[in-house]
Structure 1
Amino acid sequence: MAHSNISLLGLDWILIFSWIAFLLWSAVLVFYLISIAYSKLHLHRPLKEDAEKGLDMPGVSIVKPLNGLADPNLVDNLTTYFTLNYPKYELLFCIQDSEDHELIKVLNGLFAKYPQVDAKLFKGAQNVGVNPKVNNMMNGYEAAQYPLFLISDAGVRMSEDSLTDMVLHMTEKVGLVHQLPMMLDGELTFSRVLEKVYFGGAHARVYVSANAVGINCMTSMSCLFRKKILDEEGGLESLSSYLGEDFFLAQLINNKGWRVVLSSQPAQQNPGLTSLSGFKARMSRWTYLRWAAMPQLILLEPLTEHAILGPIAALAVQYLFAIPIYISLPAHFLCWCIMDYILASVLENHWPRYSIFSHVKAWVFRELLILYLLPTVISMRHVSWGGSRFRIRFGGRTEKIVNGDSHSHRIINI
């Protein structure tokens, strides 16, 4: 096969880069197959019969950081924590605004409806660092009475056996158990389907495959850990210097010699409202925080995105194997779109309830959106969250920006 080669120092650089691109595409494929296989083997496993009896189950303190009643599904989501089939746990509700009388009224109503549940309310956040979520959880963390501590976001709901499933994974050498985020159905608007396609595909394939091979990849959306491990390092306050506290929590536990494992039940995200702007903001925030914590991802992560990897791999395949781009590139996108649909079905434990056409439409939108988000995030210098602005240094440490500092830089709202 004859090629017009670019030679420098006797090396055919086009050939070298073509093989690198093809091997990268193959590696992404292998990781994707790992994510599907691991999800099929690990997720939605039945509970052990002896665990259902509640024998020798340790107590769990569950903190719920809350900030207002804007989400119409909030009450339904919170109610699921009062009906957990678990022998010994407490609920610690932390309200950001101590004057949020409507939210306080709702919580007091739940306390009255479920008097058998040990539930407490903490009003107002402490100011121990720059992370608003950590500040909000501090009162609950300090009052926790049990050895296991569960952080659970407001938009997450639980099945009756979800907590039991997480605790069963807290074996002797495990220090943290987390749940893979998934989006529940709700009203299947385009933005809702977009969230489901993302969390069931692009997000899940990285999240699951990383955990399968032991790479630190988790969110604090729903995570259970041994409180004594964090207490030995200064408690929850030790994470207050980072906006991406979840990454550093898992890293701390790993560094202490404990394992971080994935629960078999996914975290059930159930927001009442979804929007394209909200999705874009969340994707931008997470990308920004990942790159701040692990700067090497600035170069590596874009090369795993199909909209970027596909054209590069198609050029490589044309050069190496004489397969035309007009064949290999559509085949690339079709392959990944179908595999995302399969992975979503494994994650949800049934075929998605949205149509295949809706899946394709949302999938294409997400893949094209990433071409806009990546250069946008690269150009960011600051983050705006909860009315404040933050500068994130490489390594993840965060500084709050005072008025008048660095006004010229671009800001992303999260």
Structure 2
Amino acid sequence: MPGERGTPPPLPPSLTLAGGASFYLAVGGLVLYGVVWAVGLNGWRVAKTRYGRAWAPSRLAALPPASVPGVTIIRPLCGLDSNLYNTLETVMQLEYPRYEVIFAFQDAGDEAIAVAQLLIKNYAHVDARIVINPAKVGVNPKVNNLMQPFAEAKYDLLWVIDSTVAVTDGTLGRMVDAWLGGGDVERTAEAGYTPPARGDVGLVHQVPIAVVYTSSWGSLIEQAFLNGNHAKMYLSINDVAVDSCVVGKSNMYSRANIAGLRTPSPSLRAAPDPPSGLAGFGPFMAEDNMIAMTLWRAGLKHAMTGDVALDFIGALSVRQYIDRRARWIRVRKVMVLPATLVEPFTESLLGSLVGSWALHRLFGLPQAAVFGASVLAWFLVDNSVRRNLSTNARHIGPQTSFATFAVAWAARELLALPVWLYAMVGSTVVWRGHRYRILASGEAKRVD
């Protein structure tokens, strides 16, 4: 019997081989759970303090045109996107004294040309024009679309906005404020303007939030994701600024800086005369992330304003939502594999499961109760984030009700892990009607 002479007493469960392993797993799980919550709560703090109020107009809005840097706004267009006239119209109504607008097309027969022509007619006082150029420098249609506008832009400052994105009237002035670091009026004069150098701000962007007019379950789930967990993490990562984290819905940068970038494409660098500048990003599907990352590594900081990029989401089926999320997971896994492997633990269900098990293993807390409380807290934080971000969007799009958001959020969380698993076992994506394979370098190769 245990305890008799010559028979050692049994070890406590925590000191057995299995018990010791589970103890250290629980410690690691609790640390991971704590880090994810810290990042999420920081994103919630940023949403509440920076976006939960209206912002005053930029000081630049009242200056004469000759006293501010000129900005070229480029809208790359292809087809009739959802709510197209209204989204494009927002850049014709900006409170900024010196800018031009270029509507960029690749096809002279594009249906959206008529929309751009109508806008130019209705806002004849705005310096705006249409550029059509079918040339292609890579598989990325957005890069192809931007080549001619980059060459023809009047100004060094370029603000590229996706066709589905609307902006508020004071956004441009506040972006230029952020670009200039908030100070030095002398530097605002075009005569004294120089492209940013290492240590300066070299990219200004906004957090994207989804606006849904035509409600479908796919679009509502996408909206719950973008306006909740995605926005929370996006704001937090950019707040601590340990690395580049940029979505290309609304980005401002310097043409001179882009022109000086060496292509990150291994296949292009192996060519006898590799392209530099924008053309060097043509092989990448996620050109926005690659440009931002290359600028970051060149020592140019990224900045954000208290504005949002209002992304009008058309009607999506649940299957279309799944394909959309899987596509970008497959892109990310070859670009930032460690972050993509950790991604499921930043979601409410798996993260709460790990956290509740760790707290039960280490402190004996009831696992089911801790799990339920964690998921509920996760939902409340995401709902608060989307409400604060919507402060900047109330006069542009309809507001989703609390009940609708709750159902869409729950559906998104239930789908998160299955979508991630589905994405991780494949390497091909369908993008704009064509099939591509994502290579280890992050480049896309058309396979259809």
TM-score by length of 1: 0.89
The match for 2:402 among 352, 356, 361 is 356
Please state how far the C-alpha of 1:400 moved relative to its aligned partner: 3.0
- The one-letter amino acid paired with 1:34 is N
Identity %: 28
Please state how far the C-alpha of 1:283 moved relative to its aligned partner: 1.6
Seen in structure 2, the aligned counterparts of structure 1 residues 300 and 12 have a Cα distance that, compared at 3 Å, is: same
CA offsets 1:304-342 (integer angstroms, 9 cap, x no match): 222222222222111111112221111111110111111
Between the aligned partners of 2:87 and 2:285, the Cα distance in structure 1 is 25
Residue equivalent to 1:78:
88
How is 1:366-385 mapped onto 2 (pairs within 5 angstroms)? Answer: 366-385=412-431
The match for 2:445 among 390, 399, 411 is 399
Please state how far the C-alpha of 1:53 moved relative to its aligned partner: 0.4
Residue equivalent to 2:143:
134
Residue equivalent to 2:23:
15
Please state how far the C-alpha of 1:394 moved relative to its aligned partner: 2.7
Seen in structure 2, the aligned counterparts of structure 1 residues 204 and 12 have a Cα distance that, compared at 3 Å, is: same
Residue equivalent to 2:222:
195
Residue equivalent to 1:407:
none
State which drifts further: 57-66 or 266-275: 266-275
TM-score by length of 2: 0.83
* Structure 2 portions without partners, runs of 5+: 1-10, 182-199, 262-275
Seen in structure 2, the aligned counterparts of structure 1 residues 348 and 166 have a Cα distance that, compared at 3 Å, is: same
State which drifts further: 202-211 or 232-241: 232-241
Between the aligned partners of 1:334 and 1:3, the Cα distance in structure 2 is 35
The number of residues matched between the two structures is: 398
- The one-letter amino acid paired with 2:162 is D
Residues 125, 139 of structure 1: 8 Å contact kept: no
How is 1:46-57 mapped onto 2 (pairs within 5 angstroms)? Answer: 46-47=55-56, 50-55=59-64, 56-57=67-68
| Two-structure CA RMSD over aligned residues (Å) | 2.3
How is 1:86-105 mapped onto 2 (pairs within 5 angstroms)? Answer: 86-100=96-110, 102-105=111-114
Please state how far the C-alpha of 1:278 moved relative to its aligned partner: 3.3
Residue equivalent to 2:195:
none
* Structure 1 portions without partners, runs of 5+: 404-414
Please state how far the C-alpha of 1:373 moved relative to its aligned partner: 0.5
CA offsets 1:369-395 (integer angstroms, 9 cap, x no match): 112201110011212223433222234
Residue equivalent to 2:79:
68
State which drifts further: 392-401 or 26-35: 392-401
Please state how far the C-alpha of 1:105 moved relative to its aligned partner: 2.2
Please state how far the C-alpha of 1:82 moved relative to its aligned partner: 1.4
Please state how far the C-alpha of 1:192 moved relative to its aligned partner: 4.2
Q: Who wins on radius of gyration, i.e. which is larger?
A: 2
Residue equivalent to 2:270:
none
Q: What SS is found at the alignment partner of 1:202?
A: helix
- The one-letter amino acid paired with 2:135 is Q
- The one-letter amino acid paired with 1:59 is G
Q: What SS is found at the alignment partner of 1:178?
A: strand
Please state how far the C-alpha of 1:207 moved relative to its aligned partner: 0.3
Residues 295, 394 of structure 1: 8 Å contact kept: no
Residues 92, 119 of structure 1: 8 Å contact kept: yes
Please state how far the C-alpha of 1:220 moved relative to its aligned partner: 0.8
Residue equivalent to 2:238:
211
